[in-house]
Amino acid sequence: MSDGNTILVTGAGGFIGGHLVRDLLKEGATVRAVDKKPADEWYQRFDDAENFELDMSLRENCYAATAGVGEVYNLAADMGGMGFIELNKALCMLSVLINTHLLEASRDNGVERFLFSSSACVYAAEKQTDAAVQPLVEEDAYPAEPEDGYGWEKLFSERMCRHFTEDFGLGTRVVRYHNVYGPEGTWDGGREKAPAAICRKVAQAKLSGEHEIEVWGDGEQTRSFTYITDCLQGTKALMASDHSAPVNLGSTELVTINQLIDIVEEIAGIEVSRNYDLSAPQGVRGRNSDNTQLRAALGWEPSVTLQEGMAQTYAWIYDQLSERVAA
């Protein structure tokens, strides 16, 4: 057992979790990294951390993982890109078990601070029907009409965090991520998000010489995308702050999916023809982050441009794909 200075990161074998464990270790923290995936499937795994394969939907595992812990970053969830969450609503909802048991265990084991990774999918659909969307403020989550399945679970878990703070004094933080992307994450298999999927498709087109890709929807739906280093900086700063209400963490650089493809084409040095699949899952028509509360709470907001972040992401995915093709 640790002395309470240990930091627990759940979902540590995933994209954000792996990067967060690396950052915390570099800062000299004692980190307990937990994920239900086998260790050889973690995106990043560090010998300097306490690494455990545990299913955090099970109550007894949550109590074991939080023993002697001072801070909890709860990044564990069954999720993926739009193609996954639209077709796996029940699986996404079952992630509520993770947050429920972790909150209970954190309360009972004397955890001081608990951060829940929520999502912009909590926002009401009626606020996101136009590609020229108004940036979403935190209050736009109510009246509740979140993304079915995944969004409802996130919104319910946000509410649990609030009441665990009010009723039990547990210091909770809730961060609403807006489309986080970067290297060392899912880039194929059906759970990848738009930036990784587009990087993979363009890289495949370049390697094969067949300069043609499929695009979900008409390509005119809009999003903002947050690079992983901005995500980590904001997440750690929020944990250290006194801000307990849900807060957006996202870039405000709004682009269409077609513009995102333009950026990746420029990075790759090719042009591709685009086949639009209007029957494919595409989510809301437009989504962007309002960072007013983030700036007020932290005096900071994301600054990595999409061009900068996508260059790093494309290079990593191109290397992964090249190695696979060579094998």
**Same-domain pairing of 136 and 213:** no
Residues making up the chain, counted from first to last? 327
Question: Is 276 known to be catalytic?
Answer: no
**Same-domain pairing of 259 and 125:** no
Q: Which domain holds residue 269?
A: 181-224+253-289+303-326
Average pLDDT, the chain: 95
Is residue 294 situated within a structural domain?
no
**Same-domain pairing of 174 and 321:** no
CB 111 within 8 A of CB 153: no
CB 112 within 8 A of CB 242: no
Is residue 297 situated within a structural domain?
no
User: Which residues pair with residue 227 across a beta bridge?
Assistant: 181
C-beta atoms surrounding 38 within 10 Å: 9
Is residue 205 situated within a structural domain?
yes
Q: Whole-model pTM?
A: 0.95
**Same-domain pairing of 171 and 190:** no
**Same-domain pairing of 132 and 83:** yes
Tracing tokens 């909150």 back to the chain, one arrives at: 103
Choice among 31-35, 100-104, 186-190, 275-279 with the minimum mean pLDDT? 186-190
Is residue 109 situated within a structural domain?
yes
C-beta atoms surrounding 322 within 10 Å: 13
End-to-end CA distance of the chain: 44
**Same-domain pairing of 220 and 245:** no
- Domain count for the chain: 2
**Same-domain pairing of 130 and 196:** no
Quote the tokens at residue 186. 């899912």
Is residue 68 situated within a structural domain?
yes
**How confident is the model at residue 85, as a pLDDT?**
77
**Torsion sign across C-alpha atoms 211, 215, 218, 223:** negative
**Torsion sign across C-alpha atoms 249, 251, 256, 262:** negative
Instruction: Give the residue ranges of DSSP H helices in 142-283.
Output: 150-168, 194-208, 228-240, 257-268
**Same-domain pairing of 235 and 276:** no
Residues contacting residue 178 through CB under 8 Å, at least 6 positions apart: 120, 223, 224, 225, 226, 248, 249, 250, 251, 287, 288, 289
**How confident is the model at residue 1, as a pLDDT?**
41
Among 123, 150, 181, 314, the active-site one is 150
**Same-domain pairing of 185 and 174:** no
Is residue 13 situated within a structural domain?
yes
Confidence of residue 4 (pLDDT cuts 50, 70, 90): low
Is residue 296 situated within a structural domain?
no
User: Which residues pair with residue 74 across a beta bridge?
Assistant: 10, 116
Does position 2 have pLDDT exceeding 60, yes or no? no
**Same-domain pairing of 84 and 117:** yes
* Cis peptide, bond prior to residue 38, ω within 30 of zero: no
Residues contacting residue 79 through CB under 8 Å, at least 6 positions apart: 85, 92, 95, 150, 191
Report the CATH number that the domain containing residue 275 is assigned in CATH.
3.90.25.10
**Same-domain pairing of 142 and 192:** no
User: Which residues pair with residue 20 across a beta bridge?
Assistant: none
Report the CATH number that the domain containing residue 94 is assigned in CATH.
3.40.50.720
Choice among 5-19, 226-240, 270-284 with the minimum mean pLDDT? 270-284
Task: Summarize pLDDT for 103-124 with one digit per residue, the tens.
Answer: 999 999 999 999 999 999 999 9
Distance CA 177, CA 226 (A): 8
